[in-house]
Chain A
Amino acid sequence: MIRIVLPAHLRTLAKISGEVELDVEGPVTQRSVLDALEARYPMLQGTIRDHVTQQRRAFVRFFACEQDLSHESPDVLLPDAVASGAEPFLVVGAIAGGLGLELH
Chain B
Amino acid sequence: MASNPLRDPQDRRLPRIAGPCGLVLFGVTGDLSRKKVMPAIYDLANRGLLPPGFSLTGFARRDWADEDFAQVVHDAVKEHSRTPFREEVWDQLAEGFRFVPGEFDDDVAFEQLRHTIEELDVSRGTGGNHAFYLAIPPAFFGDVVGQLKEHGLADAAGDSWRRVVVEKPFGHDLRSARELNGILDGVFPDGSIFRIDHYLGKETVQNILALRFANTMFEPIWNANYVDHVQITMAEDVGIGGRAGYYDGIGAARDVIQNHLLQLMSLVAMEEPTTFDAQALRIEKQKVLSSVRLPSDLGATTARGQYAAGWAGGEKVPGFLQEEGISATSTTETFAAVTLHVDTRRWAGVPFYLRTGKRLGRRVTEVAVVFKRAPHQLFNPTATEELTQNALVIRVQPDEGMTVRFGSKVPGTAMEIRDVNMDFAYGGSFTEASPEAYERLILDVLLGDPPLFPRHEEVELSWQILDPILDFWAKQDKRGAGPEQYPSGGWGPGSAEAMLARDGRTWRRP
- Do A and B assemble together? no
* Chain B residues close to A by CB (< 8 Å): none
